[in-house]
Structure formats: structure tokens, C-alpha cells
Chain A
């Protein structure tokens, strides 16, 4: 038989094709997996999937090499007696033993002090379940990786517009004419973004990218505006300044749909100072904005209640209420705030020329104003006004970690939300569009317990582990104002840390501040390497012992599919499956994959049996929950309620007979209902028959202006997506922040911050965005450390995951430090030279690559390519651990302790977002006698029991062994 490819008539070898969902990154594209004799032959994008429409990225297309990777863990492992943590010396045990160990330990903790069990997860797409497990267990110490990922983006925008980018919403590039992308190289929504971006460009849209580095998406921008890291807030505030100055804002939109025209108490003596003036106080406030505030009527020149029909209020101005109280409109306060933020001022901070900033503002404003979109879609707002059309201003934005991962990110992103609102682009065509379940109230309803009493032995947590504080009374602190959570989330240090602070868990637990814990369970997060700041020290903490020889963190459990640097530090390793071997749900209760036009959720259905003794982590949790008799997992008699995870997904309801569960599609006995309905025993099959995805198309009249769209809000309420069908007005001026400030000023009743945090809370809880230098920079000698060091995400690698992938690692085998050729020349550094990058926290040796596509004050590298020797079952000599380097070594998880010895996280003081990109460094050439390899180095890990052999070559051909 000919081996020539020129035999077109022979049948293609794809006997078996199954639908499931990708998990090579967080994008969650629909895939079709072609199997040949039980081996994966081809993975293609599912053309019938709304998210990726048939396309698939480099990672998704390399799923085969993940499935057959030698880094896979296949057996439960226990650290060998006497072996140090981090050495990776394990013995294989059975699942029975593993469960017995866990059951005994966790039951004991739960019966005494449940918070001594901490569960933190990485890029987990099952937070609905992991969160439920933690809550049922009764521990407050649960979070996913959001705190060190992009919580600023979530919080900054949700506290402003009731929605955010990423899974929560996005730019409507189908209709936008101008698209401005800030601080984004590549992100979670990568394939949809790429699809949209290409379409946008082909349709002649103008694409501007603001980024210190020109890679990825920025490469195809019509204009690249290099900016100094951490200064985006200055740019955005200057844009707001210029747009207000030129009158380029959408007045009508701001008046009707934001709190811009609402009157703010300016009586500095009043405890209500800085609060909106209210004409009545509702008896019981829900988590929504009651419509009880005031405008100043332009016609009658007097205060009126907001949204009084026929009234056109002043947007700006200072007035006196009949009782003599001085008031200003929120917009007036904004105008005054940005008065000093001139383009000239921003130019000096951002490095962007004044003219460019002014032009950018004009481009945005003129496009928004003059290229209005009008769609013939009639809709009704919550005030019962009927609109004959939906209009939009076609300026769209997108932002990601470049804005978020700074200690000033929250206010930067608030400024972005305000800029978007000024341009009138919120949930309108051509602007920003929400995705279900967003918009949500500002802030959303879920709350944590309010104090230590919420944590009770043998009882579920009295509240959610993560919530959305609306005022200081929603903080999770004790009577002294001290944190209840191990990561100090929802404490006065980081009051709005809505995704937790996973990046401080290990340090806090090691130090015993605020307390010691017993068991730390980590699911798929590489907290001993790229997911932690200060990796060198954190690795020591994980292995550190008390004087009596016991570990400072007594027991560490790591569940992961792969041998990462973190697994080496575990006492117990639980082998997870790959995405091709498991059931999963991309649930409406977590972060679904909704589209602009309605809710979408999806599932994974295994296409292969588990490898070895791998067990999906969900099954582990269901089993543990059952053994521990957590109420959600057992019946009244304490008997097992769910056979397994698929059974759980079908039958679990958020409350008895709520009709809401993990999946929104094909509910009801026969699958006839969606969103809400009784459990359907055939739900999985129906997903399977429908490309593993459920898409609900809202009626057109419900698809826009959802913050104020009566039809939509009532639909959302009826379908359990929101508690209140109340308008979600944009918070140009944030009363939530002001409440914290008043508490810090001692003006308000209720909780007040501890003395040493008063100043901090008062400063950073400003109801209007302001620019401040990132905290680390303000504590750094900038002459000594003149450069910013940041990372970018390569499109062909997902964090540390893919160095084990034989195909992807050929694309990114190691990483260079990219630096502007002039910056390099000043240090006498040439291409390929070895150099040191040093911050005040540490230093790392790496190789230089000169570039013209990076701002001269910035050096950067690809994220997480460098690996510890032997990790991910790579050969100890692999390039990743010799030439590749990890920038985390120069980033600290804490700022220097204050004179009182108190530690504070290297994070945003509002949200606790890890300030990865704040780090300041200097660079210098490595000595001629220094070895040509990265430093620091770590002892090489050896393969664990049960791991596949590292092949010396691959000649992969699915379905046969050539």
C-alpha cells in the first residue's frame, strides 16, 4: 500500500467523533474529538458551538499531547516517611487509603474548628461545586485563583456598571467602529476575541491598543500606544477630563442611566457627607439601589426625585437644598476630580504624548457621538417608558490583567467603567454588552458571614465563602476588626476582595497570621511556582517546621492531573483526570459561557476512560462530602444522596424544589424547560445530543440596556438569575466606597476600621477614581530600580500547563527577557547575553532579547515558561529549567512590614488583587564567569510512582503503533 498522501479517495480515519468542551485554557470552546481505535486522532473546533464556531487555538489543537503526557499523575500518592516536602518522594497508595486519611482528618477538623481546613483552587471551572463543598464543610477558607488573576477587573467594573469583561461581558465588535484594548495580550475569552477582532478589522473598524508591549492582539492594531505599566489610570482619567471638557459625553445616557445627576451631600460636618441625598428611607433595603434620590430640575430650579417623568435635571452644578444642605451632582464631583488630570499631566506619567491623549479622547467622543447606531428594536425600561429603538454609540473597550494586576488597578478600572459610561456604551450595540447572569445589582447580593460566629463546628458556613460587601457591616471580621479568613479577605485590609487572596494563603498559614490552619488543600494551582509570588521563599514556607519538628502547615493535599512543582510539596497527591476523561459543567452558578444574546452553559462528557487510577476531582469532593455527611451530599438519614458527579449535576437543586441546579438546559421531567425546572434524568443525554451546549436566545427586546430593561429584568428574576427586577444604575460615584471612607473617618455608625488601617481605608475608598502610583513603586528607590517588569501570555501556552506538551513546548521552550534596544544599549547588553533582573526582593538570571516593540521603561517575558528542574516530568536538562526563567522570583507577595511589624499583601488595597505588575527592577549583565543558565536553580525532581516514561521520541499516529 502506498504511503503517499496522494490517495485522496481512501477514507479518512476518523471512526468515532464525540463532542465535548476544551480545557486547554479557560476559554471553554466546543470541540469534536475524533477517536481511532480508542486513541485521539484529531481535535477540531465544533462548528455548531456558539463560542468558537468551529475554530480552535494552538493549545486546543494540542490536546493529544496533553492526554498522553508523561507528566500525568495516575495514582494517589503519599509522601514517603521521612522525605522532605518538595523532594517529590512519594509512594503510591490506594484511593481507599487516600479517602480514609482525608475522611479522618477532615472530620476531626470539622468537628472542632472548620476554618482550619482551607480549600483553594486554581483555574478550576467548577467553583459552583468547590464553593459548595467548602460552604457545606463550614470553612470560610475557600477561594479560587481570581484574587491573583484579575479580580480588579471584576470588582472595578461590577461595582461600577454591574458587569465586567471576560466571562461576564465584552465588547460588541460586530457593531463597534472604534475599539480600544488596554492591557491585554491574550485572555480567557481568546478564541471568541480573535474571531471578533478579525471580523471587526475586516469590517473596517479602527483598533487601538494601549499596552507597554506590542505582541498578540496589539500586533494587528491600527495604532499601538505604548504606555508605562501601572499608569493606565492616569490615561483614563485624562481621557475623561478631555471628554468632559469638550462636551463629548452622552448626557442623556448619563442622566437616565447613571447616578451622575444625583445630588451628593456636601455638608462636611454631616455623617451623610458624600452620600446621596435621599428623600425617604425604605423600610428594608435589598441589594439594589432604591430610587429615592434627588435630581436638580433645570426648568423649575429645584430638587426633584430622580426619574421624575418629564424632568431634565442638571448634570453639573452645586446647589443648596431647602434645608440649607450644600449638594453637588455626582457628575460635578467627577468633573472637579478630573480637573487636575489634564492630558499634559497624564503625558508626564504615562509616557504618551499629550496630543495623542487628546486625539484619543476626541476619536472616542466623536465616534460615539456621530456614528450612533439605531436598531429597530422596541423595548420598555423599568420606569415603564417605551422606546421604539435601541441606540448605541459604537466605541468598545476591552481590558485585562494589564490594568488589573496593579495595586491601583481597582480605581483604574473604575475609571474605565466611567469612561465607557460617559461615552454611553453600556449594554448598547457597538459598546459593552453583558452576558448572563450579568448585569447584577451593584454590588451583587451574595454575602459572606459577617463575623467569626458564621464558622461553626459540624455546621455549614453561615453565608457564602465569597461575597460582595455593600458596606462595612458586610465585612467578614471579628469584633476587633480582625480577619476571619486565612487570606484576610473581606477584612479592612482588602475590604472588597471578592475573589479572595489566594496569593497570601501560604504565607499567612505559615506565619499563623491570623491563625494556624491544619490542612491546606490545593486543586490545580501551582502555588510552589508560577502561581505564587516570591516562589523561593514560599517553597521554604511549605517545608518549614516548628521547633518540635512538626510542619508549620501540618497537612497539604494537592489534587492535580499533572506533576507540577506544587505536587512535590504535598503530603497527599490526588490524581485528577484530563478534560477528555471527565464530566464537567460550565454552570450558570459559576461562570458560564453566555453570549451577548442570552445565557449559555455547557458540559464536558468523557470521550476516554480515566487513565490509571485517575479520578475526577468532582468525584473526590462528592465522595468526601458523603463520607463527612455534609448536608448537601446526604439524605436525612445521613445516607449517600448522589451516586456520582453526573448524578449530582442532574439532581442537585440550589434549594429544595428550587428548580435550579448546575445546568440550565433541558430541565423539567422531559427536558422541556430551561433555566428553571425540576431535575431531568436525561439531561446529560440531551446535552450530548446538542453539542454539549445549551444556548438560550433572549428575545431581541431583552438583549440590550439590560440594567434598565424591564422585560429582561423580569425575565431574569422569573428565571432565578437575579433577586430583584430593579434598575441597576451605573455608579459613576460609588456610595459603596464612600461608606467605607465614612467608617474610616469615624463619621458613620457601625463598624470602623482598626486604627492602623484608618488612613489606608480613607485614602483608597474614594467614591471617585483617582490616580496613585502603584504601592510598590512608592516604596521603591526608583533610581535604583528604574524599570517595570511584566509578563505577557503567550497564545500557545496556558500558564505553566503546556511545557509538558510535546508540541507546544517546541514553540516556547524557554523564555527571554525582552527589552527595548535602547534600554539594553544603555547597559551594554546585546542580544542573547545573560543578565540579571533584580528587584528589591530578589533576582533572577536570564537571557536578553532586544526588541523595538516594548516601551523603554519596561522589560517583559512570557509568563510561566520557566520551570523547576525535573518538574512536569521534563528531563532535568530541559531548556525550561536551564534557559527558561520565572519572573516570580523577583516579585513579593507582601510589601515591607510597617514599623509595627504588620504585614500587608502586595495587592490592591481595595480588592486584594495581586499586584504582579507593580514590581520595579534593574538589569545588569551577568559576569563572564557566571554559568549560562538561569538562577535560582532547584534540586531536580524525579518522576513519581505511576508516571509514564518520558519518551525519547514521539512518532505519534493515533490508533496504531507505527
Chain B
């Protein structure tokens, strides 16, 4: 597929936002049960707003993908069948809950809703709802790709898992960097989990790469045109100056380029941020955390580009040769 930058930014940015929120919410939950030191409400509120900012930026990016963004409101209507429609619902829902999460934290609203005699039940409830919605959003985003069954590189549960893991990892890395400035006493929590998530994401992504490397394409030229012969070649695709079919479904770069992108993202997303986090933990350097996030985010752009580029659409069987 042709990697569209709007979609690359959309998916990576909301991934960070979602992950950041999950990081904030988990640390807040831990603190409620006193496993972690509690932070002022403003910390979570600001973090939530930053996460919201990431989601909003992703939303803005997504508009660049649309031919008619002014009609985007229509896209919520087909939630019964379309994962894209579901995402369109889930994204504002997450954003709304994030906003609410920020507000309740900012206002430090509290009430003993369940009679647990614990502080922070309101943010906990709102956060839990937000977390559920966030996971739902990960599911939707992943399934947009995972549900297209003939895009075999995507049609695997690993797609959803990796969206979740990569988004979460990048969010936790960001949270570590955020905490380095705002709440140094919980940095280690974020950093450690980020490292765990990076390892998990690496496993997930590597699994996907390994799977895709040995994928057996269901469709081939023979089934595409219905000619059962061992040697079938296209001689002319029917037009010469290009068309939507030649622009939308191909990355247009060479195999070497594709490979180098793969190694770049494998380095930038996993080992380097991991080492930087480790460095951050070892030296207590906030710069290391910031660098870890920056490097990883750039890596994710490469990763997402690769994710689209690697998907070989069966329609390409029909569009191979100009003649």
C-alpha cells in the first residue's frame, strides 16, 4: 500500500496519546492503592491534556486523509459493520473521557462512591472508563487493518496487539519523560513499564515480521484472471500514465529502501529507546527520557510507513506492467 502520511501521523499520534493515558491512569491507580507515591491532581490533569493533545493532533492529521473532511461527521453511522466507523466513534469518546479525566483530576473531584474509604475514586472511575475506551480504540484502529482479510500481512491478531503494544510503549516512554520533569518519584515506574512494553512490542512486531516473511499469498495471477497455467505474465495493464490503482496500492520504492526502513525502525523503536531508558534510570537523566521518546516516535513513523508499504494488496496482481 501507499503509506499516507496523514494516516501514519494519525495512528502514531493517537497511539502515544492512548499509551500516555494508560500510563497516567495506571500510575494513578497504583498510587490510590499506595503502591506508588501520589501526585497532585494537576499532574494527571496536565498529562491527560497532553494525551488529549496527541489524540487531537492525530484527529487533525486524519482530516488530511479525507477527500471531504466537512462530511466526516457522517462516518459515525456505520458502526454496525465498519471498524473505521467504530474508530470514528471511539476516538472522540476517548478524547471526551480524557478531557473528563483531566477535569476531575484538575478539580481533584472526589467522593467515596463505593464506600472503600479511598481517595481518588472519581478519577479512578473516569479513568477506568477511559482505559476501556482506549483499549477499544486500539482494537478499532488495529481492526481497520486486521479485518481486511485479503491484505494478508495485516489480517492477523498481531496487528491489533502491535497497535496496542507500540502505542502503549510510546505512551509510557513519553510518560517517563513527562514524569522526569513533573513527578520524578514515579519516573522509574513508567520507565520500567516502558521497557517491559518495548520488549513485548518488539516480540509482537518481530512475530508479525516473521509471519509476514513466510506468508503464503492466497491469491495469485492465476486466480486473479482465472487462467490455470504455470506461466502467466501481464503484458499491459491497460493504461500507461498511471492511475489510482498504481498510486494508492504501492509504496513506489525499491526493495532495498523497504529493507532499510525496516532496520531503521527496528533500531529506533526498540533497542535505542530501551537503552536510553536504561540510561535514564541509571543516570537519572531527564534528557535521556526525552531522547528516548523522540527517537522512538521517529522510529514509529518509520514503523508505520513500513506497516503500510509492506502490505501487498491483491489488486496489484492486475497492475504490474505498463505496455
Do chains A and B make direct contact within the complex (CB under 8 angstroms)? Answer: yes
- Contact, CB under 8 Å: A811 / B239: yes
Candidate in B231, B240, B321, B323 with the most chain A CB atoms within 10 angstroms: B240
Is A849 positioned at the interface, with any CB of B under 8 Å from its CB? yes
User: From residue B33, how far is it (CB to closest CB) to chain A in Å?
Assistant: 57
How far, in whole Å, are A372 and B292 apart by their CA atoms in the complex? Answer: 88
Q: Say whether B235 contacts A811, CB under 8 Å.
A: no
CA distance A811 to B236 in the complex (A): 10
Closest-CB distance, B234 to chain A (whole angstroms): 11
Residue B238 at the A interface, CB < 8 A? yes
Whether a CB of chain B sits under 8 angstroms from the CB of A80 is no
Contact between A879 and B323, CB atoms less than 8 A apart: no
Instruction: Tell whether, in the assembled complex, residue B240 and residue A814 are in contact, meaning their CB atoms are under 8 Å apart.
Output: yes
Q: Residue B241 at the A interface, CB < 8 A?
A: yes
B233 on the A face (CB < 8 A): yes
Tell me whether A853 and B241 are in contact (CB under 8 A): no
> A523 interface residue, CB < 8 Å from B?
no
Q: Is the Cβ of B240 less than 8 Å from the Cβ of A811?
A: yes
A816 adjacent to chain B (CB < 8 Å): yes
Q: In the complex, which of the residues B231, B233, B238, B323 has the most CB atoms of chain A within 10 Å of its own CB atom?
A: B323
**In the complex, per-residue mask of B223-234: 1 if CB is within 8 Å of any chain A CB, else 0:** 000000001010
| B320 CB, nearest partner CB in chain A, Å | 11
The answer to whether B235 touches A849, judged by C-beta atoms less than 8 angstroms apart, is: yes
Question: In whole angstroms, how far apart are the Cα atoms of A888 and B240 in the complex?
Answer: 22
- Shortest distance from the beta carbon of B67 to any chain A beta carbon, whole Å: 14
Q: In the docked arrangement, what's the CA distance between A853 and B235, Å? A: 10
Collect the chain B residues with CB atoms within 8 Å of residue A814's CB.
Answer: 240
Mask of A812-841 contacts with B, CB within 8 angstroms, 1/0: 111010000000000000010000000000
Please state if A813 and B240 are interface contacts (CB–CB under 8 Å): yes
Which residue on B lies nearest to A813, using beta carbons?
B240
Bound together, the chains give a CA A811 to CA B321 distance in angstroms of 13
A810 contacts B240, C-beta separation under 8 Å: yes
A906 at the binding interface (Cβ < 8 Å): no
Known: A849-B235, A851-B235, A852-B233. A816 touches B241 (CB 8 A): no
> Which residues in B have their C-beta under 8 angstroms from that of A831?
321
CA distance A640 to B238 in the complex (A): 53
What are the residues of chain A within 8 A of B239 when measuring CB–CB? 810-811, 813
Specify the chain A residue showing the minimal Cβ separation from B240.
Answer: A813
The answer to whether A816 and B233 touch (CB under 8 A), given A811-B239, A879-B241, is no
How would residues 248 to 277 of chain B score, 1 for a CB under 8 Å from any chain A CB and 0 otherwise? Answer: 000000000000000000000000000000
Q: Shortest distance in angstroms between A959's beta carbon and chain B's nearest beta carbon?
A: 25
The chain A residue with its CB closest to the CB of B233 is A852
Q: In the bound complex, how far is the Cα of B239 from the Cα of A410, in angstroms?
A: 38
Chain B residues whose C-beta falls within 8 Å of the C-beta of A852 in the assembled complex: 231, 233
Closest Cβ–Cβ distance, residue A882 to chain B (whole Å) = 12
| Chain A residues closer than 8 Å to B323, beta-carbon distance | 816, 849
* Secondary structure class of chain B's binding surface, majority of residues: loop
Considering the chains assembled together, what is the distance between the CA atoms of A853 and B234 in angstroms?
A: 12
Q: Are B233 and A813 in contact, with the CB atoms below 8 A? A: no
Bound Cα distance A849, B240 (Å): 13
Q: How far is the CB of A835 from chain B (nearest CB, A)?
A: 16
Residues from chain A with Cβ under 8 Å of B233 in the complex: 852
- Chain A residues lying within 8 Å of B321, measured Cβ to Cβ, are 831, 849
- The number of A-B residue pairs with CB atoms under 8 Å apart is 22
**Across-interface contacts of A849 in B (CB, < 8 A):** 235, 321, 323
For window 870-923 of A, CB contacts with B under 8 Å fall at 879
Give the Cβ gap from A141 to chain B, nearest Cβ, in Å.
41
Chain A residues, CB < 8 A from B241: 810, 813, 879
A661 to B26, CA, bound (A): 98
A879: B residues at CB distance < 8 A: 240-241
A816 contacts which chain B residues (CB < 8 A)? 323
The CA of A852 and the CA of B231, in the complex, are separated in Å by 10
Complex alpha-carbon distance, A870 and B241, angstroms: 18
On chain B, the residues within 8 Å of A810 by CB distance are 239-241
Q: A833-859: which have CB < 8 Å to B?
A: 849, 851-853
- In the assembled complex, the CB of A649 is this many whole angstroms from the nearest CB of chain B, namely 41
How far is B239's CA from A812's CA once the two chains are assembled, in angstroms? 7
| Closest residue of B by beta carbon distance from A811 | B239
| Docked CA distance A849–B238 (Å) | 15
CA distance A814 to B231 in the complex (A): 26
Complex interface: chain A residues within 8 A of B240 (CB): 810-814, 879
Encoded as 1 (CB less than 8 Å from any B CB) or 0, chain A from 779 to 819 comes to: 00000000000000000000000000000001111101000
Closest CB in chain A relative to B76 CB, distance in Å: 20
Nearest Cβ on chain B to A834's Cβ, whole angstroms: 15
Determine the distance from Cα of A798 to Cα of B109 in the docked complex, in whole angstroms: 79
In the complex, the chain A residue whose C-beta lies closest to that of B323 is: A849
A304 to B27, CA, bound (A): 121
Encode B87-105 as 1/0 by CB contact (under 8 A) with A.
Answer: 0000000000000000000
When chains A and B are docked, how far (Å) is the Cα of A851 from the Cα of B236?
Answer: 11
Give complex CA distance A927, B239 in Å.
Answer: 28
**What residue of chain B has the Cβ atom nearest to residue A812's Cβ?**
B240
B197 to chain A minimum Cβ distance, whole angstroms, is 46
CB-nearest residue of chain B to A821: B233
A246 to chain B minimum Cβ distance, whole angstroms, is: 36
Query: How far is B235's CA from A258's CA once the two chains are assembled, in angstroms?
Result: 47
Q: Closest CB of chain B to A909's CB: distance in Å?
A: 37
Across-interface contacts of A851 in B (CB, < 8 A): 235
Task: Give B182 Cβ to nearest chain A Cβ, in Å.
Answer: 52
Roughly how many angstroms separate A487 CA and B321 CA in the complex, as a whole number? 44
CA distance A813 to B233 in the complex (A): 21
Docked Cα-Cα span, A853 to B321, in Å, equals: 15
Chain B 297-323 residues near chain A, CB threshold 8 A: 321, 323
Proximity string of chain A (259-275) to chain B, C-beta cutoff 8 Å, 1 when within and 0 when not: 00000000000000000
A816–B235 Cα distance when bound, in Å, is 11
Q: Which residue of A is nearest B235, CB measured? A: A851
Instruction: Give bound CA distance, A812 to B238, whole Å.
Output: 8
Residue of B nearest to A816 (CB): B323
Complex Cα distance, B236 from A812, in Å, reads 10
Could you tell me the distance between the alpha carbons of A760 and B321 in the complex, rounded to whole angstroms?
48
> In the complex, A816 Cα to B323 Cα: how many Å?
7
C-alpha spacing A831/B323, complex, angstroms:
11
A813 to B231, CA, bound (A): 27
Report the bound CA distance from A114 to B323 in whole Å.
Answer: 49
How far apart are A214's CB and chain B's nearest CB, in angstroms? 10
A813 to B241, CA, bound (A): 7
Q: What residues on B are CB-neighbors of A811 within 8 Å?
A: 238-240
A806 CB to nearest chain B CB (Å): 11
Q: A810 CB to closest chain B CB, in angstroms?
A: 5
**How near does chain B come to A671, taking the closest CB pair, in angstroms?**
47
How far in angstroms is the closest Cβ of chain B from A815? 9
CB distance from B237 to the nearest CB of A (A): 10
Complex Cα distance, B320 from A831, in Å, reads 12
Q: Which residue of B lies closest to A884 (CB)?
A: B240
Give the distance in Å from the alpha carbon of A851 to the alpha carbon of B321 in the complex. Answer: 12
Which B residues are CB-close (under 8 A) to A813? 239-241
Q: How many angstroms from the CA of A810 to the CA of B241 in the assembled complex?
A: 6
Question: Could you tell me the distance between the alpha carbons of A813 and B238 in the complex, rounded to whole angstroms?
Answer: 11
Closest Cβ of chain A: how far from B71's Cβ, in Å?
A: 12
Complex: A853 Cα to B239 Cα, angstroms = 20
Nearest CB on B from A955, distance (A): 15
Query: How far is A811 from B239 in the complex, measured between Cα atoms in Å?
Result: 4
**A176 shortest CB reach to chain B, Å:** 28
Give A883's nearest chain B residue, CB to CB: B240
Q: How far is the CB of A824 from chain B (nearest CB, A)?
A: 13
Q: Can you list 14 A-B contacts (CB < 8 A)? A: A810-B239, A810-B241, A811-B238, A811-B239, A813-B239, A813-B241, A814-B240, A849-B321, A849-B323, A851-B235, A852-B231, A852-B233, A853-B235, A879-B241
List 5 tightest A-B contacts by C-beta distance, closest first.
A813-B240, A810-B239, A813-B241, A849-B323, A810-B241
Residues in chain B within 8 A of chain A (CB atoms): 231, 233, 235, 238-241, 321, 323
Q: List 18 additional A-B contacts (Cβ < 8 Å) besides A810-B240, A879-B240.
A: A810-B239, A810-B241, A811-B238, A811-B239, A811-B240, A812-B240, A813-B239, A813-B240, A813-B241, A814-B240, A816-B323, A831-B321, A849-B321, A851-B235, A852-B231, A852-B233, A853-B235, A879-B241
